[in-house]
Structure 1
Amino acid sequence: MELPFARPSLALVAACALCSLPAAAADKIKLGILATLSGPNAVMGTQMRDGFNLALEEKGGKLGGLSVEVIHVDDQQKPDIARQAASKLVESDKIDVLVGPMFSSVVNAVLPVVNQAKIPMLGVSGAPSSLAGADCSPYFFSTSWQGDTLAEAMGMTLQQNKVQKLYVMVPNFPGGKEVVAGIKRHFKGTIVGEVYTPLSQLDFAAELAQLRAAAPDAAFVFYPGGLGIQFVKQYAQAGLKDKIPLYSAYTIDAATLPAIGETAIGVGTAEFWGPSIDNPANKRFVEGFERKYKYPASSYAVQGYDAAHLLDSAVRKVGGKVEDRASMLKALKAADFQSVRGPFKYNNNQFPIQDLYLGEIVKGADGMPVMRLGRKVFSEYADSYAARCPLK
């Protein structure tokens, strides 16, 4: 006698047959873009978002052939808000990839959410040294730089310029402290002042009086977004510009130059990209960005633009199977796209190996200040923490 459960049902047979079939490619990819879009540093997040959206528009609203759904969230530069937003994007909105955020303190808050969910995160601005080193994550891919990197190029420039006494001013947050560490890595002179100010401070009168009294050979500052606009203006208004040469990193670029104006001319900076880099991808980007948004692109726009191209290349490489996380991570690490900055490849810690330049603020043909790339300080430069990262 045949028992009633001895013969598999037709439904079960069909289900098991489906189990043996290869996974179907997704019909769309869902992205969360987390950026600072309000407050004094909103210019950075706005540029990054616009750069990403320009690349998406150039590709007909698709990445790797897939339709794209994008959810934009303003993290307000607040770690607790960013963490909550990332959790919602991952758990409720079911995003496939997180893009952003902009500040290392916010990255630190968001990364545990990403690691737990095991989804790719494209870092579009500075990231803490721990993330480039011992705490590197297989899910984090930077399209910008580790926080020390441009400061290291400026430290080398100061050393080459034979500066003996240097005064340093930065915001008091992890990124500021790592910038100071980057300066010290190559600058061998004496730091006669090392000042940390609140990340929201916009009035530097007291600090500038102290700087004047210290009588250094040069001053170095890192003040992003609106902080940099105010600092450079106040430095000139205090009569210091013509007395104490000013050097910077992550402070003056196309995003802040229109607001700073001519007072930025003559200030030295460090960059990984400039509009004058001569390759077809950069030419298309620079012209397309200004045509669409009616203002010049900055390095923050580049970081967003390259993030979209990196993601496009990875989705294409996996044939649209974005749910195959292992293959997606491998495809992202391959970085098989043409960056506007020129050669781009990932180190083992998934931070770029790239050229670094001295940036010069000069008067353009129309009389307005522009940032032009000067001499190359480092070729194919890797950050100082990759050896501590266990990723291969």
Structure 2
Amino acid sequence: MTKTVSWLAAVAACALVAPLPAQAQAQAQAPENLKVGVIATLSGPPAVLGQQIRNGFQLAVKELGGKLGGREVEVLVQDDELKPDVAVGKVKALVERDKVDFVVGPVFSNILQAIVKPATEGGAILISPNAGTSNYAGRDCNPNLFVTSYQNDQMHEVSGKYAQDKGMKTAFIMAPNYQAGKDSLAGFKRWFKGDVVDEVYVPLNQLDYSAELSKIAAAKPSVVFVFLPGGMGVNFVKQYRQAGLAETIPVLSTFTVDESTLPAQQDAALGFFAGSNWAPNLDNPKNKAFVDAYEKEFGAVPATYAFQAYDTAMLIDGALKATKGDTKDRDALRAALRKADFTSLRGDFKFNTNNYPVQDFYLTKVAKRPDGKFQTEIVSKVFDDYADSYVGSCKMK
């Protein structure tokens, strides 16, 4: 009698802890959370750029109900500190320890060059929402690297073509001394055929431009072209205006006056021109909704960094819908990503054979909105469905 009761109790206990066959099958079929590692510069003077990337990506995930392609997503955010060695260590941890399916980032091209190998050879697909160096668009193109922003040169080519079309004869050009800086000046010179009176490379994160401003004043060029992102651009614009040069020598730029720097530059940046693939006032319903949502969520006007990161999340979502959430079949996943089955905030968007975008580019100008906030606004379209100049060297087809 006692043995029978004990046996029945044991069976009952097992029934409480052991799932029924149907439950077990459902659990076995339930996909694991999708893991995405976001790596961006989140400290120091350029931190605002990385914050925009993080915010733009997370806003898209929030709007998609915390899912990408129907799978619950876990977003792991890391600060690369603008140090290649730090970035490599953190990407290796994301790939090897956390087993992320995608790495999204970074802001800066020197970091991109450091993390491509550990990210892609470690088994993840790397999607850059900003950095787009020339080598990965050409000879070093990689089937596991996608860029949702641009090839670095292209944004700067806008200014070069505008200066050429306006008949400007001489230019003083300046950028930070790293790959993106070299790409920027190469892009400007690709279209500008006038005389470059001085080509200056400054240390990354330089904040004092008194020596360079003296050179500009002495050279008296028709135009100044600069690529000085983040805090570099904030200081340059203020110092340029204080030196009285803004009234006599126009400035063309990229990432020097944008929504990440304008809250600090404010009136000093009014009237400065830039090249871009987007602006907050780009007239389409999806972009208007994004700008409104971003401002409501974060209390700031989004910059290109934010919209490109938002697009990155939407790209992943579209690809995973095509693969029914599967990330294990890498060939199918890459094919789905290349189709770019999503609606970009910029409008026209498709991937070229090197996994870099073909898209439109604009001349923009800094303006002050009726609500007192500053933003860049589109002046004119400079390039239509524009492909980068390096795709011919890419062996992918």
TM-score interval, smaller chain? over 0.9
Query: Is the Cα contact below 8 Å between 1:24 and 1:321 reproduced in 2?
Result: no
Of 372, 376, 382, the residue aligned with 1:377 is 382
Partner in structure 1 of residue 210 of structure 2: 205
Q: Does 1:349 align with 2:354?
A: yes
Bigger radius of gyration, 1 or 2? 2
The 3-state SS of whatever aligns with 2:282 is coil
Task: Report matched runs for 1:318-337 at 5 Å.
Answer: 318-337=323-342
Displacement of 1:250 after TM fit? 1.8
- TM-fit CA distance, 1:46: 0.2
CA distance in 2 between counterparts of 1:200 and 1:300 reads 18
The residue aligned with 1:116 is: 121
Shift in alpha-carbon separation, 1:25–1:381, aligned structure 2, 3 A: farther
The CA deviation at 1:367 is: 4.7
State how 1:77-88 maps to structure 2 within 5 Å: 77-88=82-93
The offset of 1:242, in angstroms, is 0.4
Q: Structure 2 length as normaliser, TM-score?
A: 0.91
Q: State the shift of 1:334 in Å.
A: 0.6
Match of 1:10 in 2: none
* Per-residue deviation, 1:74: 0.1
Q: Distance in 1 between matches of 2:190 and 2:214?
A: 27
Per-residue deviation, 1:25: 7.2
Instruction: Report % sequence identity.
Output: 45
Q: Work out whether 1:136 is the aligned partner of 2:103.
A: no
Kept after mapping to 1: 8 A contact 2:146/2:356: yes
Q: 2:302 aligns with which of 297, 302, 310?
A: 297
Structure 1 CA distance for aligned equivalents of residues 242 and 374 of structure 2:
18
* 2:95 alignment partner AA: V
* Corresponding residue number in structure 1 for 2:47: 42
Matched, 1:177 2:182: yes
Using a 3 Å threshold, how does the CA distance of structure 1 residues 28 and 367 change in structure 2: closer, same or farther? closer
The equivalent of 1:266 in structure 2 is: 271
- Contact 2:95-2:123 at 8 Å conserved across structures: no
Q: How many residues align?
A: 370
Give the Å deviation of 1:206: 1.1
State the distance in 1 between where 2:275 and 2:132 align: 17
- Mapping 1:155-234, distance limit 5 Å: 155-234=160-239
Distance in 2 (CA, whole Å) between partners of 1:383 and 1:87 is 30
Paired residues of 2:171 and 2:224 also in contact (CA < 8 A): yes
Cα contact 1:25–1:321 (8 A) shared by 2: no
Contact 2:120 2:126 in 1 (8 A): no
1:387 aligns with 2:385: no
Deviation at 1:368, TM superposition (A): 4.5
Structure 2 residue aligned with 1:52 = 57
8 Å contact from structure 1 (residues 119, 325) kept in 2: no
Unaligned runs of 5+ residues in structure 2 are 1-27
The amino acid that maps onto 2:45 is P
Counterparts of 1:47 and 1:368, CA distance in 2: 17
After superposition, the C-alpha distances for 1:241-295 in whole angstroms (9 at most, x for unaligned) are: 1011111012111111111011111111011111222222112101110111111
Cα RMSD (Å): 1.2
Q: Tell me the residue number matched to 2:21.
A: none
2:329 maps to amino acid:
D
Aligned-pair CA distance for 1:324: 1.5
Distance 2:309 2:115 in 1: 18
1:307 maps to 312
CA distance in 1, matches of 2:288, 2:38: 26
Q: Decide which of 133, 144, 158 is 1:153's aligned counterpart.
A: 158
Aligned to 2:80: 75
* 1:321 alignment partner, SS class: coil
Mapped to 2, the partners of 1:383 and 1:159 lie a distance apart of 19
Q: Report the Cα distance in structure 1 between the residues aligned to 2:191 and 2:116, rounded to whole angstroms.
A: 30
